[in-house]
Amino acid sequence: MKKIFTFIAMLAVTATVMAQTDFRHISFAEAQKAAQQEKKLIFVDFYTSWCGPCKNMANNVFPLKHVGDFMNAKFVCVKYDAEKEELDLVNRAKITAYPTFVIYNPDGTEVNRKVGGGTPDAFIADMERLSNTELTPEKIRARYDAGERSATLIKAYAALLKEEAYNSRGERQGKMMKISDLIADYFDNLSDKERLSADNLFLYREHCTTTADKKMQYLFTNKGKADKSLRPDIDSLLTKAYTQEAAVRAGFYEKLSQEAYPLFREQAMSLPAFKEEKYQGFIEVCDAYATGDMNKYLDSVEKMSRTKCKDNAFTLLYGLAEGLSGAEKDLKMRAAKLIRSSLNTMPGTNISFLGSTIADLEGERK
């Protein structure tokens, strides 16, 4: 739960909300007419007002430009509160989990569906696969086994394996390893030109878990060789990767090794985004931790949570239990006191999670 919540908090730090996916405020019957006229499929987002993953998709996925560009070109997009709107359609579709995304033909017949959210590029890959009759599971595997290695096929195959991994607990690790091997083999056999093509940006967006990944390092080093038309997209991709990593490192979603940190810091500070105070603050906290002096680390968290990172103080405070896991008791007590002094500035949800951090620091949880 700690990692999941910290990741959501980190997304809130870095996401830029700009209305891009065009959800039309029309009935399903009107969506059918529009789809017929525009020669598109219909995409329906069945959501509820209380659904957390629904809100994540609405706030952090659908507003992104590249998601909107894909969705608007392929679908007439509509969304309905499944407890209040288009209830006949909800019943016919047998919607029981949220969010559920259903793709329809213009005549109203269902093409395919996806239950649950996802990261932006994974979601695009799912929608591309689920709306394309040439990308059924059987055809994906047959085309791959026949030797095809197109970007569209690899993206779809990775998305298929990811879905299968989440639906089969016993084989999950094997499926995830297969995705890793699939992507590594594909990347290793691309030319430099192909690695810097628009079709293959999904490799960096969706298949790099850290900036130290070989693929991300290649992109950072070779970004100047990309076509000028792609450089804004690449700059945006790199900015997102490095700013998110700064947030998760400062908040201890994952620890950055002492060996990897100097290169990460050097590369991050070369990006324009790191002129912003909040990212400078995250780096200052990471710098302090990297010294190995836990007093200095705690001093930095206290200072940055009240100054440069004031609006993102939760991220820093929530990571204190992990950051100070091996520290002396008196230092942990000081950290707990710092968190308590900050609770009156936090929303209710954050307070409940910070309570668990206090309990960890004070030794009340095993």
Q: Give the pLDDT score at 118.
A: 84
* 82-105 mean pLDDT: 96
Q: Is the pLDDT of residue 11 over 80?
A: no
Yes or no: say if 85 and 25 are a contact pair by the CB < 8 Å rule.
Answer: no
Q: In the chain, what percentage of residues exceed pLDDT 90?
A: 81
Banded pLDDT at 259 (limits 50, 70, 90): confident
pTM of the model: 0.81
- Position 45 scores a pLDDT of 98
Task: Please determine, for residue 152, whether its predicted confidence score (pLDDT) is greater than 90.
Answer: yes
Res. 15: pLDDT tops 70:
no
Each residue's pLDDT tens digit, 295-306: 999 999 999 999
What's the confidence (pLDDT) of residue 357? 94
Locus of tokens 């009759």: 133
Is 309 a known active-site residue? no
Q: Three-class SS of residue 140?
A: helix
**Separation of alpha carbons 132 and 139, rounded Å:** 11
Pair type for strands 100-104 and 110-115: antiparallel
Query: What average pLDDT does this structure show over 312-326?
Result: 94
Report the range of poorest mean pLDDT among 45-49, 79-83, 324-328: 324-328
Mean pLDDT of the chain: 91
Q: Among candidates 134, 126, 114, which has minimal Cα distance to 44? A: 114
Q: How far does CA 261 lie from the centroid of its chain?
A: 22
* For residue 153, pLDDT beyond 90: yes
Does 286 participate in catalysis according to the annotation? no
| Site of tokens 């919540």 | 5
pLDDT at 348: 84
Phi/psi-derived region of residue 81, left when phi > 0, alpha when psi is between -120 and 50, beta in every other case: beta
What percentage of residues in the chain have a pLDDT greater than 70? 93
Band of pLDDT at residue 364, cut at 50, 70 and 90: low
The terminus-to-terminus CA distance of the chain in angstroms comes to 15
Query: Is residue 3 scored above 60 in pLDDT?
Result: no
**DSSP H or E segment with residue 43:** strand 41-47
Contact 110, 93 (CB under 8 A): yes
Confidence of residue 217 (pLDDT cuts 50, 70, 90): very high
Please report the pLDDT score of residue 286 as a whole number.
Answer: 95
115 versus 13: the higher-pLDDT residue is 115
Q: Which two tokens stand for residue 255?
A: 């620890």
> What is residue 48's three-state secondary structure?
coil
Least confidently predicted of 18-27, 38-47, 76-85, 201-210 = 18-27
CA angle 203, 136, 189 (to 5 degrees): 30
Q: With beta carbons less than 8 A apart as the criterion, state whether 73 and 121 touch.
A: no
